[in-house]
Amino acid sequence: MSAVTAPVALVRRRPPASVRRKRFLLAVANHSLLIAAAVAFLAPFIFILLTSLMTNNQALSTSLWPHPIRWSNFYDVFTKAPFWRWALNTLQYSVLATIGLVLSSVPVAYALARLRWRGRQVSFLIVLIALMLPPQVTVVPLYVMWAKLHLVGTLWPVILPNWFGDAFSIFLLRQFFLTIPEEYLDAARVDGCGELRIVATVVTRLAKPAIAAVALFSFLYTFNDFFLPLLYTGENPHHWVLSLGLSEFRSLHQVQWNLTMAATLLVMAPVIVLFFLAQRAFVEGVTLTGVKG
Partner 1 sequence: MRLRPAADAGAVSVPASPALARRPGKRRAAWRRRRLVLLLMSPWIVGFTVFFGYPLVMSVYLSFTHYDLLSSPRWIGTANYRYLFHDDPQVWTAVKNTLWYIAVAVPLQVLFAFGIALMLARARRGVGIFRTIFYLPALAPPVAATLGFVYILNPATGPVNVLLGHLGVQGPLWFHDPHWSKPALVALTVWGVGNTMVIFLAAVLDVPRHLYESAELDGAGVFSRLRWVTLPSISPVILFAVVFNVIQGLQYFTQAYVAAGVAAGQASQAADVTAVNLGYPQDSTLFYPVLLYQHGFTDFQMGYASAMSVLLLVVSFAITLVIVLNSRRWVYQAAPR
228-257 positions binding partner 1, by CB under 8 A: 230-231, 242-244, 246-252, 254, 257
Total residues contacting partner 1 by CB under 8 A comes to 93
Using alpha carbons, select from 202, 95, 220, 218 the residue that is nearest to residue 167.
218
Contacts with partner 1 in 56-115 (CB under 8 A)?
Answer: 59-62, 64, 104-105, 107-108, 110-112, 115
Closest CA to 54 of 261, 202, 216: 261
- Shortest spacing between CB 217 and partner 1, in angstroms: 11
Question: Of 220, 219, 246, nearest to 83 (Cα)?
Answer: 246
Piece of the chain touching partner 1 by CB under 8 A; list 5-13, 78-86, 181-189, 280-288: 280-288
**Of the two residues 141 and 181, which places its CB atom closer to partner 1 in the complex?**
141
CB of 75 to partner 1, least distance (A): 19
* Cβ atoms of 112 and 127 closer than 8 Å: yes
Please name every residue paired with 152 in a beta bridge, in sequence order, or none if there are none.
154
Q: Interacting stretch for partner 1, rule CB under 8 A, among 4-12, 171-179, 208-216, 264-272?
A: 264-272
Residue 154 pairs in a beta bridge with 152
C-alpha 237: how far from chain center: 25
Sites for partner 1 among residues 133-172 (CB under 8 A): 133-145, 147, 161, 163-166, 170
215 with 102: CB under 8 angstroms?
yes
Q: Does 5 bind partner 1 (CB under 8 A)?
A: no
Given a contact cutoff of 8 angstroms between Cβ atoms, the answer to whether 242 and 264 are in contact is no
Binding mask 169-188 for partner 1 (x = CB under 8 A): -x------------------
- Rounded CA-CA distance 221/215 in Å is 10
Give the 3-state secondary structure of residue 274: helix
| Shorter beta-carbon distance to partner 1: residue 95 or 278 | 278
Region 29-48 residues binding partner 1, contact defined as CB under 8 A: 30-31, 33-34, 37-38, 41-45, 47-48
Window of 6-14, 81-89, 178-186, 219-227 that interacts with partner 1 by CB under 8 A: 219-227
- Choose, by CB under 8 A, the member of 227, 238, 277, 280 that binds partner 1: 227
CB nearer to partner 1: pick between 163 and 184: 163
From the CA atom positions of the chain, what is the Rg in Å? 26
Instruction: Give the nearer residue to partner 1 in terms of CB position, either 22 or 208.
Output: 22
Q: Taking the CB of residue 212, how many other CB atoms lie within 10 A of it? A: 17
Q: What amino acid is encoded at 236 in this protein? A: N
CA distance 165 to 171: 10
Cβ distance to partner 1 smaller for residue 69 or 126: 126
- x/- mask, partner 1, residues 117-136, rule CB under 8 A, reads x-----x--xx--x-xxxxx
Q: How far is the CB of 264 from partner 1 (least distance, A)?
A: 5
Where is 219: in which H helix or E strand? Answer: helix 208-224
Angle between helix 167-177 and 120-132 (nearest 10): 130
**CA–CA gap between residue 234 and residue 154 (Å, rounded):** 10
CB of 149: closest distance to partner 1 in angstroms? 12
Site residues for partner 1, window 10-29 (CB under 8 A)? 26-27
Q: In this structure, how many other beta carbons lie within 10 angstroms of the beta carbon of residue 108?
A: 19
